[in-house]
Amino acid sequence: MAQIIVYGHRESLGRRRTALKSAIHGAIMAALEYPADKCFQRFIALDDNDFIHPEDRGTDYTIIEISMFEGRSDDAKRTLIAELFERVDVEAGIAPHSLEITITETPKVNWGIRGANAADLTLGYKVEV
């Protein structure tokens, strides 16, 4: 499971939401062998005075936070980050300098999904990639 939160300037996210959704999910599927139907994303559009960052990042500055089950290899996480930088640049027009990515991993037992503890579910996809 991967839950994605995307933060950005209101105007920038408004123009790029569809392209970002596609780029992010494409990267997740490619790097983590994720099923196409498992897309969980939230977009948090912020007013300029609510999104403080160095000026050199510009109004395209975007943060992608990924929360997912632990178990992916370091190579898979490196591949995911590289895929995100490439796809977000090409598909959404946000240069790598203006993109920040964080990955937080937690045990399945810390997740509740579809009325059950995730540690007790059959997921239908591999976590150990």
Q: What pLDDT, on a 0 to 100 scale, did the predictor assign at position 123? A: 73
Q: What pLDDT, on a 0 to 100 scale, did the predictor assign at position 100? A: 98
Q: Is the dihedral of CA 94, 97, 100, 103 positive or negative?
A: positive
Q: Where are the domains of the chain?
A: 2-120
Residues contacting residue 127 through CB under 8 Å, at least 6 positions apart: 69, 70, 71, 72, 108
Q: pTM for the complete prediction?
A: 0.92
Q: What pLDDT, on a 0 to 100 scale, did the predictor assign at position 91? A: 98
Domain 2-120 sits in which CATH superfamily?
A: Macrophage Migration Inhibitory Factor (3.30.429.10)
Which mean pLDDT values do the consecutive 10-residue runs of the chain (129 residues) have? Answer: 94 97 97 92 97 94 96 95 98 98 94 86 73
The rounded distance, in Å, linking the Cα atoms of 18 and 12 is: 12
The rounded distance, in Å, linking the Cα atoms of 124 and 127 is: 10
Q: Is 65 helix (H, G, I), strand (E, B) or coil?
A: strand
At 7, give phi and psi (nearest 5°).
-110, 140
